[in-house]
Amino acid sequence: MNRFSLIAGAAGTLLLLFVAIPVIRMILAADPAILAKTMAEPGVVASIFLTLKCAFFATMVCALFGIPLAFILARRDFFGKSIVSGIIDLPVMIPHTAAGIALLMVFGKRFFIGKAFAHAGIGFVGTEAGISLAMAFVSLPFLVNSARDGFSAIDPRLERVAETLGASASRTFFSISLPLAFRPILSGLIMMWARGISEFGAVIILAYHPMTAPVLIWERFTSFGLAYARPVAVLLILICLVIFSVLRFIGKQQRDA
């Protein structure tokens, strides 16, 4: 192994330890008895299930709109394309509490969009829909950017051949482009879901109740201290670790198939 590989490996190891040590330390410090008791609390179970469900719903809805947008960004040149790309990346750059306030000003009952949804029986303040909305806003860039990179990596000649053989644009998309970009899209879906699960700032502004797991952890930490917040945090980490390990394994199996 050459010197550069050793240096790169050492640098990568330090970064890996930077991420892994705090998580491992928190998991190992958890009392199994307290963790088991926490798992039996209906409020904790409900908050974790709510978090997973809202993040999943946000991801699936955004996939319907984000994947076609990613395809357009990868395949078409148009005036203002860089502005569109910048808008997509904006949620990553702004503070998420500010994102929550921005969403509240638009989807609250004082703005016409919020009023229109309210008349249709859909509210976003203090509802599961509001939680999903906040999660979608902050995590959408992960899906769109990953899908765009996946579409960009496809040789356009494959799509043109399908079209010259009589396939419509939609059929070419669903039979050629989408399957070939499946792995980056799946990675983007997983990352978007993961980012949605971890969201706190935008959610707490738009929908403090019902409590998601990150909000519950913060509420217990500020009200009762570390001893009460840590078991919920450890439980959420373990559940997410299992879920994402399974998803990554499935993705790997499909890649190797």
For CA atoms 88, 92, 94, 98, give the dihedral sign: positive
The tens place of each residue's pLDDT in the chain, 257 residues long, gives: 688 989 999 999 999 999 999 988 988 888 888 888 888 899 999 999 999 999 999 999 999 999 999 999 999 999 999 999 999 999 989 999 999 999 999 999 888 999 999 999 999 999 999 999 999 999 999 999 999 999 999 999 999 888 888 888 899 999 999 999 999 999 999 999 999 999 999 999 999 999 999 999 999 999 988 888 999 999 998 888 888 888 777 777 666 65
Task: Please give the tally of structural domains in the chain.
Answer: 1
The structure's pTM equals 0.90
Q: Is 112 a member of any domain?
A: yes
Tokens of 21: 């040590």
What pLDDT is attached to residue 256? 62
Q: Is 18 a member of any domain?
A: no
Q: Is 10 a member of any domain?
A: no
What pLDDT is attached to residue 125? 94
Report DSSP state, residue 165. Answer: T
Q: Tokens 């797991």, residue?
A: 213
* Closest C-alpha among 10, 19, 15 to residue 241: 19
143-157 as b/e, with b when 16 or more CB fall inside 10 Å? bbbbbbbbbeebeee
Q: Is 243 a member of any domain?
A: yes
Measure the CA–CA gap between 244 and 190, rounded to whole angstroms.
7
Q: Is 102 a member of any domain?
A: yes
What tens digit of pLDDT does each residue of 25-57 get?
988 888 888 888 888 899 999 999 999 999 999
What mean pLDDT is reported for the chain?
91
Q: Is 237 exposed, middle or buried (0-12, 13-18, 19+ CB in 10 A)?
A: middle
Q: Is 21 a member of any domain?
A: no
Q: Is 12 a member of any domain?
A: no
Query: CATH number for the domain including 61?
Result: 1.10.3720.10
Please answer whether residues 217 and 198 qualify as being in contact, where contact means their C-beta atoms are separated by less than 8 angstroms: no
Q: Is 147 a member of any domain?
A: yes
Containing domain of residue 140, as a range?
32-256
